[in-house]
């Protein structure tokens, strides 16, 4: 059948309305562009809104913080995979980006002495400085700010309940350029063909690939990577999927939800296997990747807990009479919504830290993505990021964009990332649109419209929703938190079978809210994204960050770093290759490793102290980071046996 098609013209199309999309739209509109925002979900209802509401703000908690220190922290934590131009831009723009959130209504707690947003008392996972700012209403506060940016912005139109199906390109000499995009308007049952010289992809990540073992929105179906790759853009570091280590393993109604971060384990928290043996100590100093890897290695060794995880044991923090109340205040206030989930899912004894918590990793964030420069423009070739531009007019931001985090994302950086690179991509997209010569012709859309029209009324004996469940099960096993060459090959076979069945998916011929068509499109994108993850995982020949190979050794920090790049050859075949990255200078790397070893040695020493001495030392530490009035008075009567008062929210 031929579906009704509506034609529109804009300067910039922004795909996604979360943190990155809203900031891109706002920046492009402020630069004079006519902007269309396309969103599957209601405006502002993205991962941002369900997040813990923590943002990285340089210099918010430590006087000795700087652009150079933050940029270096990102690169070294990311295994030298991050592109320096991107980490420098993040470090430079983080304060201004946060101020833009505040201009849209975000209200942080203020440090009265420094007159700056108040940061958490301990550095968030992987940070070397305190710079993570929390908010009373968590991600809801950010979601409202994003909504304001779109709804109240001049020159911004928006479409909800709409699926961005594909980019449309035209040849422009030796490279492609954006002609626009094709959208399925589910509520009205029609296609929207948008002619535009610039498109910003900010459509989130891929974590639904691992459902139900994820804490993210179910709309994260890899759309960003699939539509970009089909258009011919490069993807970078697609094997680097971040799994949050401390998520609910059971009951099923809470499965996958976040209940803690490494930092919330505090000074004495450890991970134990099913037999009580410590598999990782000094948890609060570890990265998310280290904790997830330790849990899943224990599971693979047969030492996992009943629901395929490990025990996060924080009871030692709580047992002391002097420092215990401070720890409980810290635990309840650092990640308030995560702590509430723990109380509801695990019960009173666990919430009071009378017993260990069963935890399991959960898919959370994509650290790879579309390969771009610091302004979000796609790049190609074998350089370090800025060597050669890719598709003219194509930009990416937020989780859609790769190259910033590499092998590990520091805690609290995602909300800041969206604002920093959303704004950069929006401004650059507006400039590209302004300089565009002529509008795209309708002929560029003809094949795309015909291909979509053929799907409505497609006969078949397969259901996309059922195939999606199969893909999700196999993805967790084969390209999830742990991988082997054999499992990656098995995944390729699974994907071959699923791709062969796509044309047999039954899709009715009606166009209004055709759920079967929506499921088909999301499955198609998930399959394409999983293919890229598997190809990159094969190319990365050792364990690094979010990529854990059970059959390979850990890649040394002193080896030559490289990023994996996924692109298509002249025949359109998906290919993986390596792009070299500069290594951190040897002396600097040694210094970083020594400082890390020193911090971990101090934790071991603290754990070895007699109970009374340990208690006094911990009390001093908590008072130093939280203040004298910050803890015990807000514990309800009954000492450390009492419940946490609701007033202890950050």
Q: What is the pLDDT of residues 7-61, one digit of tens each?
A: 999 999 999 999 999 999 999 999 999 999 999 999 988 888 888 888 999 988 8
Average pLDDT, the chain: 91
CATH architecture of 457-580: Up-down Bundle (1.20)
Token pair listed for 161: 């309940």
| CA dihedral sign of residues 527, 529, 533, 536 | positive
**pLDDT for the residue 458:** 97
Confidence of residue 568 (pLDDT cuts 50, 70, 90): confident
In the chain, what percentage of residues exceed pLDDT 90?
75
Residue 171 class from Cβ within 10 Å (0-12 exposed, 13-18 middle, 19+ buried)?
Answer: exposed
**pLDDT for the residue 637:** 29
CA distances from 46 to 50, 53, 343 (A): 7, 12, 25
Confidence of residue 384 (pLDDT cuts 50, 70, 90): low
**CA distance linking residue 51 with residue 148, whole number of Å:** 18
**pLDDT for the residue 629:** 47
Least reliable range by pLDDT among 270-279, 395-404, 530-539, 563-572: 563-572
Confidence of residue 643 (pLDDT cuts 50, 70, 90): very low
Classify 357 in phi/psi space as left (phi over 0), alpha (psi -120 to 50) or beta. Answer: beta
**CA distance linking residue 186 with residue 307, whole number of Å:** 39
| CA dihedral sign of residues 205, 210, 213, 219 | positive
For the chain, the helix, strand and coil percentages under 3-state DSSP, each to the nearest 5: 40, 20, 40
pLDDT over 90 (residue 93): yes
User: What average pLDDT does the segment 72-79 reach?
Assistant: 93
* Number of alpha carbons in the 13 Å side-chain half-sphere of residue 483: 34
**CA distance linking residue 463 with residue 18, whole number of Å:** 30
Beta-ladder partners of 236: 369, 565
Do 142 and 51 touch, CB atoms closer than 8 A? yes
pLDDT over 60 (residue 575): yes
User: What average pLDDT does the segment 585-597 reach?
Assistant: 87
**pLDDT for the residue 569:** 81
Do 410 and 92 touch, CB atoms closer than 8 A? no
Residue 441 or 256, more confident: 256
**Cβ-count burial 291-319 (b if 16+ within 10 Å, e if not):** bbbbbbbbbeeeebbeebbbbbbbbbbbb
**CA distance linking residue 57 with residue 438, whole number of Å:** 41
How far is CA 108 from its chain centroid?
22
Residue 258 class from Cβ within 10 Å (0-12 exposed, 13-18 middle, 19+ buried)?
Answer: buried
**pLDDT for the residue 634:** 37
**pLDDT for the residue 381:** 84
pLDDT over 50 (residue 616): yes
The angle at the Cα of 239, spanning 406 to 69, to the nearest 5 degrees, equals 10
pLDDT over 80 (residue 385): no
Pick the CATH number of 244-363+609-648 from 1.20.210.10, 3.30.70.100, 1.20.120.330, 3.90.700.10: 3.90.700.10
* Number of alpha carbons in the 13 Å side-chain half-sphere of residue 616: 4
User: What average pLDDT does the segment 409-423 reach?
Assistant: 94
pTM of the entire predicted model: 0.92
**pLDDT for the residue 646:** 26
Confidence of residue 235 (pLDDT cuts 50, 70, 90): very high
Least reliable range by pLDDT among 80-94, 200-214, 230-244, 572-586: 572-586
Confidence of residue 239 (pLDDT cuts 50, 70, 90): very high
Domain boundaries, the chain: 244-363+609-648, 457-580
In the chain, what percentage of residues exceed pLDDT 70?
95
Q: What does the pLDDT look like over 447-496, one tens digit per residue?
A: 999 999 999 999 999 999 999 999 999 999 999 999 999 999 999 999 99
SS3 (DSSP) at 278: strand
**pLDDT for the residue 639:** 33
Q: Please report, to the nearest 10 degrees, the dihedral formed by the alpha carbons of residues 505, 510, 514, 518 taken in order.
A: 50
């Amino acid at each position: 059948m031929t579906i009704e098609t509506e034609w529109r013209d804009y300067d910039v199309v922004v795909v996604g309305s979360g943190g990155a999309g809203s900031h891109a739209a706002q920046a492009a509109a402020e630069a004079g562009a006519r902007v269309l925002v396309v969103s599957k979900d209601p405006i502002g209802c993205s991962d941002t809104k369900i997040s813990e509401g923590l943002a990285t703000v340089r210099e918010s908690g430590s006087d000795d913080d700087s652009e150079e220190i933050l940029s270096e922290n990102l690169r070294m934590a990311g295994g030298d995979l991050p592109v320096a131009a991107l980490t420098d831009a993040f470090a430079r723009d983080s304060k201004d980006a946060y101020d833009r959130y505040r201009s849209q209504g975000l209200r942080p707690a203020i440090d009265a002495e420094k007159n700056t947003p108040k940061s958490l008392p301990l550095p968030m996972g992987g940070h070397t400085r305190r710079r993570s700012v929390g908010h009373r209403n968590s991600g809801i506060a950010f979601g409202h700010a994003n909504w304001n940016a779109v709804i109240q912005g001049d020159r911004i139109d928006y479409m909800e309940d709409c699926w961005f199906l594909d980019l449309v390109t035209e040849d422009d000499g030796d490279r492609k350029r954006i002609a626009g995009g094709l959208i399925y308007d589910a509520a009205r049952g029609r296609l929207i063909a948008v002619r535009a010289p610039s498109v910003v992809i900010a459509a989130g990540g891929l974590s639904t690939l691992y459902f139900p073992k994820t804490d993210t929105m179910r709309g994260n179906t890899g759309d960003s990577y699939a539509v970009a790759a089909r258009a011919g853009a490069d993807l970078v570091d697609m094997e680097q999927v971040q799994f949050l280590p401390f998520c609910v393993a059971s009951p099923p109604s809470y499965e996958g939800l976040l209940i803690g971060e490494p930092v919330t384990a505090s000074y004495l928290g450890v991970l134990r296997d099913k037999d009580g043996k410590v598999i990782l100590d000094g948890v609060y100093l570890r990265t998310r990747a280290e904790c997830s890897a330790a849990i899943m290695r224990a599971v693979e060794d047969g030492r996992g807990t009943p629901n395929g995880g490990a025990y996060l044991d924080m009871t030692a923090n709580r047992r002391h009479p002097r420092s215990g109340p401070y720890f409980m205040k810290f635990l309840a206030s650092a990640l308030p919504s995560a702590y509430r989930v723990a109380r509801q899912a695990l019960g009173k004894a666990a919430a009071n830290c009378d017993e260990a918590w069963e935890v399991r990793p959960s898919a959370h964030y994509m650290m790879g993505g579309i390969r771009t420069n610091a302004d979000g423009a796609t790049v190609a070739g074998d350089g370090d990021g800025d060597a050669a531009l890719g598709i003219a007019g194509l930009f990416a931001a937020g989780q859609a964009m790769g190259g910033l985090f590499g092998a590990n994302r520091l805690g609290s950086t995602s909300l800041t990332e969206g604002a920093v690179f959303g704004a950069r991509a929006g401004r650059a997209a507006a400039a590209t649109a302004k300089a565009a010569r002529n509008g795209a012709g309708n002929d560029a859309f003809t094949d795309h419209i015909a291909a979509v029209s053929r799907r409505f009324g497609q006969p078949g004996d397969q259901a996309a929703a059922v195939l999606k469940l199969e893909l999700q099960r196999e993805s967790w096993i084969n390209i999830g938190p742990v991988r082997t060459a054999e499992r990656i090959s098995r995944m390729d076979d699974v994907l071959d079978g699923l791709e062969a069945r796509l044309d047999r998916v039954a899709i009715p011929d009606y166009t209004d809210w055709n759920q079967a068509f929506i499921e088909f499109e999301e499955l198609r994108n998930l399959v394409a994204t999983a293919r890229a993850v598997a190809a990159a995982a094969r190319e990365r020949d050792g364990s690094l960050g979010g990529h854990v190979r059970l059959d390979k050794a850990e890649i040394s920090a002193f080896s030559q770093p490289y990023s994996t790049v996924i692109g298509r050859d002249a025949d359109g075949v998906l290919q993986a290759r390596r792009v070299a990255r500069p290594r951190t200078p040897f002396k600097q790397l040694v210094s970083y490793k020594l400082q890390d070893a020193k911090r971990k040695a101090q934790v071991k020493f603290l754990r070895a102290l007699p109970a009374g001495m340990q208690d006094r030392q911990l009390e001093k530490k908590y008072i130093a980071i939280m203040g004298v009035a910050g803890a015990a008075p807000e514990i309800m009567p009954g000492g450390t046996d009492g419940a946490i008062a609701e007033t202890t929210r950050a």
